[in-house]
Amino acid sequence: MGSSWTALQKALKQRYHACMATVQIRNLKDEAYAILRRRAEESGRSLQEYLRIRLEEEAAQPTIEEVLAEARASLSSSVSMEDILAVQREGHGE
């Protein structure tokens, strides 16, 4: 039973880690920890739940670099030089 139990434990552990990522933060200042813990308490959440929600909110917001890259990709794939020149000609009454 020992080896089959160990194999089961290993499989369950791998499955757990495949479903959810884990983040560990080191060297957090005591003051920052106290503030975050207080905010979690005030929101009626555990610190872990509060931080998970905040990190998910942060991840959902694109960075400026991501927005610009998406805009560049969108423009470069949908607007040709001919389109630009046609709009310019229309503006000048040509």
Is pLDDT of 74 > 90? no
Together in a domain, 47 and 72? no
Per-position DSSP letters for 25-85, written without gaps between them: --S--HHHHHHHHHHHHHTT--HHHHHHHHHHHHHHSPPHHHHHHHHHHHHHHH--HHHHH
* Model pLDDT for residues 42-71, shown as the tens digit of each residue: 999 999 999 999 999 999 999 999 999 888
Q: pTM for the full model? A: 0.57
Q: State residue 13's pLDDT score.
A: 72
Number of domains within the chain: 2
- Between 78 and 7, name the one with better pLDDT: 7
User: Is 30 inside any structural domain?
Assistant: yes
Residue found under tokens 């610009």: 68
Asked if residue 88 has pLDDT above 70, the reply is yes
In this predicted structure, what is the pLDDT of residue 16? 65
Same domain, 68 and 94: yes
The pLDDT assigned to 82 comes to 84
- Structural domain harbouring 48: 25-61
